[in-house]
Amino acid sequence: MSEPIVIPPGGGEVIGDTSRRRVEILSDDPSLNATWSRFGRRSVGADLHVHRDHVDLFYVLEGELTVRLGIEDEPVAVPAGALARVPPLVVHGFRNRTDADMTYLNFHTPGQRFSDYLRALRDGRELSYDQHDPPEDGGRPTSEAVVGGEELLVDRPGLRVALLADVEEIGISETLCDPGLPSPPPHLHRRHVESFYVLAGELTFTAGDHEVRATAGTWVQVPPGVPHTFATAGTEEVRFLDIHTPSCDYGAFLRGLHEARTDEELAAIRAAFDQEPA
């Protein structure tokens, strides 16, 4: 594939749409299956289960998600703007236990055909998927699940960058910036996918031969080998998620990027990451 995947707000593949729940598929890449969901008040999501071979993550956009952890079914609140990460073999479920609607992004990495599993549920078919009943031994400790826990890398007027997830399967950062933030140099990745979700404001992406203006609620995914960069657009503050699957040491790259003081240091940091000039 030589072009980006761009999904405008509300434009994902619809799995279900009722007054109580709407689910859209945003990404069906083997490295990352991602969905956008809206749950109505007091809605039950998934009962307690485990994944053996992939990580399950939730980023709350609006409202409050309750993650249920362990065979004890401990409720943990995840507020808007926070990420919950559940490693393999940690027992979990989720629900909306508030009296307001809740929207969130759900990431499964690697994908393990989660999107196909949702399609099968929609179409009344059965499909084997990496989701299992809680093990008799209770699974891995619930302390290995992480809610929040961001690492703040930059916090100055006009720019805030936080690392939300930094594990082998996925790296996620959240950036809040004023218009006019310098663009990263055009580059490409050979071994991983880079995805973006615009939370507020507007970005302009240049990827391959395409230029895309992405407003709040837009998903942009850049396949390996596609040259790309982005810039802030408009006059409003911009906030977005930057997602790398697999991580390819994205956390180390991002730390180094903001600690570098010379062009030589920047070049060395980029060379150590899966990033090539385009």
Instruction: Please tell me the predicted confidence (pLDDT) of residue 2.
Output: 72
Helix segments in 28-157, DSSP class H: 114-123
Q: Pick the closest to residue 168 from 227, 252, 89, 75 (CA basis).
A: 252
Instruction: Please tell me the predicted confidence (pLDDT) of residue 271.
Output: 84
Report the Cα–Cα distance between both ends of the chain, in Å, rounded: 17
Mean of pLDDT values over 171-199: 95
* Ordered structural domains, the chain, with CATH: 5-147 (2.60.120.10), 151-277 (2.60.120.10)
pLDDT at residue 9 above 90?
A: yes
Tens of pLDDT, residues 87-103: 999 999 999 999 999 99
pLDDT at residue 1 above 60?
A: no
CA–CA dist 76, 64 (Å, integer): 10
With vertex at residue 253, the alpha carbon angle to CA 251 and CA 256, rounded to the nearest 5 degrees, is: 110
Secondary structure class of 4 (helix, strand, coil): coil
CA–CA dist 217, 198 (Å, integer): 6
pTM of the model: 0.96
Mean of pLDDT values over 212-233: 96
Confidence band of 112 (pLDDT split at 50, 70, 90): very high
Mean of pLDDT values over 201-224: 94
Instruction: Please tell me the predicted confidence (pLDDT) of residue 208.
Output: 84
Average pLDDT over the chain reads 95
Of the given ranges (38-47, 71-80, 185-194, 262-271), which has the lowest mean pLDDT?
262-271
CA–CA dist 154, 259 (Å, integer): 10
Tens of pLDDT, residues 138-162: 999 999 999 999 999 999 999 999 9
